[in-house]
C-alpha cells in the first residue's frame, strides 16, 4: 500500500528529474548552437583577413587564370594569407631540387616584404573532416568556382567579396560544415557535457535528500492524525491530535479534535440518557409494584381509589414509552410525517382553548395573538403534539397568577409560533440545555412539576421533521420564550 510519504517522495523526485532533464537538454542545445555561432564568427574573421591577399594576387596577375586548376598555387595563396608568408608566387619547375626547409622559409620572404594581414592568425582546425582549409573556396565575379571546395548551398550573405579598385572581382567563402563539428570543437563540447552531467548528478542527489526530508515533514503529522483516529475508533475519546504543524493539516487536526470532543459528549450524554431512562421507568414501575404488593398482602383494599392510582401510573409509563419511541424514530430519520394542507391558526386556537380551563384554575391568564388564517402543509397530529407539550410546560412551570402568551405570526416565507410565560425564568447557561432529553430547568426531579424531561426534545424533533427550527430565549414577561420557525 502506497503511503503519503512514498507518494510525496516519488512526486518530488519525478518533478526534479524532469526539471533537470529539461535543463540538460536546453543547456546542451544552447552549447552546441553557441559553439557553432563562435565558429561562424571565426570563419568570418578568416575570410576578412584572406580577402585582401586574394585581391592583391588578382591585381598582380590581372585575373584568376593562374589559380584555375592549379592546386599548388591555391595552397600557396591560403598559406600566405594565414601565416603571413609573402613574395612572388611562382610555379614549381619540373625536376628542380626542393630546397631544405630552412632555406625555403628564408627564401619565401623577399627584402622589404611586409607580413600579410593574417600574420597574427593561426589556422584553426587541422586537416580532416570539417576543417576550415578543406572547406575554403574561391568564386569569380560570376559566382563560378575557381578553386577550393564546392560552393553548393552557400547563401550570398555568407560570402566575403574581394574588391579591387572599388569593383568586386570575386567571392571567397566556406562550404557548409553541416551538423558535424571540428574535432577540437567536439572535444570541447564533450568536456562541457561531462561537467554538466556531473553537476546534474550532484543536483539530483541533493534533490533526493530534500525530497525525502519534505516527504517526511508532510507525512509525519498525517501519520499522527491517523494514529489519533485509530485511538478514537477504539473508544479512547480523550485522544487529541497535534495541531502545531500549521496549514491545512493543522485545520484537519482541529476537525479531528472537534470530532473527539463530540464523541466524548455523545458518550456522556448516552450514559446519562440510559441512567435517566432507567430512573424514569423505575419510578412508575416501583409505585405500581408497591400498590399491587399491598393489595396482595391485604394492606390495601382493591377499591376504586387504588385502581385509579395504578391506572394513572400505567398511563404515565405508557406515555413515557411512546415519547421514547418518538425520539428513537426521529433519531433514525423514520418519524412518520404525513403532510397535508392544514390551517395552523385553527390548530393553535384549539390548543389554547383546551388548556385555558387548567390555566384559569390557577389564576394564569392566557393571551392569544393568532393570525386569522395560516395555511401550512404539515402533519396535524404531530403539530398538535408539539403545541400540547409547549403548553403543558407552561402549566407546570408558570407560577399562579402569571401570564402565558400564545402567538402565531404568518407572513413571507416563514411561520413563527411563539409560546411565552411570566416565569420563573431560567439562567443563561440553561437555555441551550432545555432541548436535551430528561433535562429539567428546575433542580427538583419530582415528576409532579418536572415531568419526564422529554417534551421539548420531542418538540424540536417535530419542528425539524417539518424543515423548521426551535429556539429558547428569555421572555419579556420574565419567564421563558419558545419560538418555532416553520417554512410556509
CATH number (domain holding residue 428): 3.30.565.10
Cα–Cα distance between 421 and 419 in angstroms, integer?
Answer: 7
What is the distance between the alpha carbons of residues 119 and 112, in angstroms, rounded to a whole number? Answer: 16
Q: Are strands 167-174 and 160-164 parallel, antiparallel or unpaired?
A: antiparallel
**What was the pLDDT predicted at 365?**
94
Q: Which domain holds residue 259?
A: 247-331
Q: Residue 272 is part of a domain; what is its CATH number?
A: 1.10.287.130
Are both 394 and 424 inside the same structural domain? yes
Instruction: Specify if 108 maps to a domain.
Output: no
Together in a domain, 177 and 316:
no
* Contact partners, residue 374, CB within 8 Å, separation at least 6: 343, 344, 345, 408, 410, 415, 488
CA 77 to CA 54: how far, in whole Å? 7
**Is residue 92 in a domain?**
no
pLDDT of residue 406: 95
Same domain, 190 and 261: no
390 and 347 within one domain: yes
Element (H, E) at 76: helix 71-83
> For the chain, how many structural domains are there in total?
3
pTM for this predicted structure: 0.47
Residue 238 included in any domain: no
Shared domain check, 184 and 321:
no
In sequence order, what are the beta bridge partners of 370? 408
Which three cell numbers, joined as nine digits, stand for 60? 598582380
Q: Classify residue 81: in a domain, yes or no.
A: yes
Co-location of 322 and 364 in the same domain: no
Q: Tell me whether residue 74 is in a domain.
A: yes
Task: Give 307's contacts (C-beta < 8 A, 6+ positions apart).
Answer: none
Regarding whether 348 and 206 lie in a shared domain, the answer is no
User: SS3 of 403, please?
Assistant: strand
Among 172, 182, 178, 183, which residue's Cα sits nearest to residue 44?
172
Residue 478 has which C-alpha cell?
A: 420574565
CA gap 239, 421 in Å, rounded? 44
End position of a domain, from candidates 283, 309, 331: 331
Which alpha helices (DSSP H) does 297-379 contain, by range? 304-331, 344-361
H helical segments located in 84-177: 101-107, 132-135
Same structural domain, 141 and 216:
yes
Give mean pLDDT in consecutive 10-residue pieces for the chain, a chain of 488 residues: 69 79 80 75 82 86 82 74 47 41 39 36 39 77 81 68 88 74 70 81 82 77 82 84 78 85 80 74 82 84 82 80 76 76 93 92 93 90 90 89 93 90 84 73 44 77 90 91 92
Asked whether residue 177 falls in the same domain as residue 194, the answer is yes
DSSP bridge pairs for 472: 482
Instruction: Report yes or no: 150 and 137 within 8 Å, Cβ to Cβ.
Output: yes
> Residue 455, Cβ neighbours under 10 Å: how many?
21
Last residue of a domain, one of 174, 207, 231: 231
Amino acid at each position: 500500500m502506497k503511503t503519503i510519504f512514498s507518494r510525496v517522495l516519488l512526486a518530488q523526485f519525478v518533478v526534479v528529474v524532469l526539471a533537470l532533464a529539461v535543463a540538460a537538454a536546453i543547456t546542451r542545445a544552447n552549447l552546441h548552437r553557441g559553439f557553432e555561432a563562435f565558429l561562424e564568427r571565426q570563419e568570418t574573421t578568416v575570410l576578412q583577413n584572406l580577402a585582401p591577399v586574394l585581391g592583391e594576387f588578382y591585381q598582380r596577375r590581372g585575373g584568376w587564370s593562374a589559380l584555375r586548376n592549379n592546386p599548388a598555387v591555391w595552397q600557396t595563396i591560403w598559406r600566405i594569407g594565414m601565416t603571413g608568408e609573402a613574395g612572388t608566387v611562382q610555379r614549381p619547375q619540373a625536376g628542380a631540387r626542393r630546397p631544405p626547409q630552412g632555406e625555403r622559409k628564408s627564401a619565401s620572404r623577399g627584402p622589404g616584404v611586409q607580413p600579410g594581414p593574417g600574420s597574427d592568425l593561426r589556422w584553426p582546425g587541422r586537416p580532416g573532416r570539417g576543417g576550415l582549409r578543406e572547406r575554403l573556396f574561391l568564386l569569380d565575379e560570376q559566382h563560378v568556382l575557381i578553386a577550393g571546395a564546392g560552393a553548393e548551398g552557400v547563401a550570398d550573405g555568407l560570402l566575403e567579396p574581394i574588391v579591387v579598385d572599388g569593383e568586386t572581382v570575386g567571392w571567397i567563402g566556406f562550404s557548409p560544415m553541416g551538423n558535424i563539428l571540428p574535432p577540437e570543437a567536439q572535444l570541447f563540447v564533450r568536456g562541457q557535457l561531462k561537467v554538466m552531467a556531473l553537476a546534474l548528478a550532484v543536483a539530483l542527489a541533493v534533490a533526493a535528500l530534500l525530497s525525502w526530508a519534505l516527504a517526511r515533514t508532510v507525512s509525519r503529522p498525517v501519520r499522527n492524525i491517523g494514529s489519533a483516529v485509530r485511538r478514537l475508533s477504539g473508544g479512547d475519546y480523550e485522544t487529541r491530535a497535534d495541531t502545531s504543524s500549521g496549514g491545512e493539516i493543522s485545520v484537519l487536526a482541529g476537525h479531528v479534535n472537534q470530532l473527539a470532543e463530540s464523541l466524548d459528549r455523545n458518550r456522556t450524554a448516552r450514559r446519562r440518557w440510559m441512567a435517566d431512562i432507567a430512573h424514569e421507568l423505575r419510578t412508575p414501575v416501583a409505585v405500581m409494584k408497591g400498590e399491587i404488593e399491598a393489595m396482595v398482602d391485604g394492606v390495601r383494599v382493591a377499591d376504586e381509589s387504588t385502581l385509579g392510582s395504578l391506572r394513572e401510573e400505567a398511563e404515565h409509563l405508557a406515555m413515557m414509552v411512546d415519547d421514547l419511541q418518538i425520539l428513537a424514530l426521529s433519531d433514525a430519520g423514520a418519524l412518520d410525517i404525513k403532510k397535508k394542507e392544514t390551517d395552523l391558526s385553527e390548530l393553535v386556537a384549539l390548543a389554547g382553548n383546551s388548556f385555558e380551563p387548567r390555566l384559569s384554575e390557577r389564576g394564569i391568564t392566557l393571551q392569544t395573538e393568532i393570525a386569522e388564517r395560516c395555511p401550512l402543509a404539515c402533519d396535524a397530529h404531530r403539530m398538535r403534539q408539539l403545541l400540547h407539550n409547549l403548553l403543558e410546560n407552561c402549566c407546570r412551570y408558570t407560577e399562579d397568577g402569571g401570564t402565558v402568551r400564545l402567538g402565531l405570526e404568518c407572513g413571507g416565507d416563514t411561520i413563527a409560533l411563539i409560546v411565552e410565560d411570566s416565569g420563573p425564568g431560567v439562567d443563561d447557561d440553561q437555555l441551550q440545555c432545555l432541548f436535551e432529553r430528561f433535562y429539567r430547568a428546575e433542580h427538583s426531579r419530582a415528576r409532579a412539576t418536572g415531568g419526564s424531561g422529554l417534551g421539548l426534545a420531542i418538540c424540536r424533533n417535530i419542528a425539524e421533521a417539518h424543515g423548521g427550527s426551535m429556539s429558547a430565549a428569555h421572555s419579556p414577561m420574565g419567564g421563558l420564550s419558545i419560538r418555532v420557525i416553520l417554512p410556509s
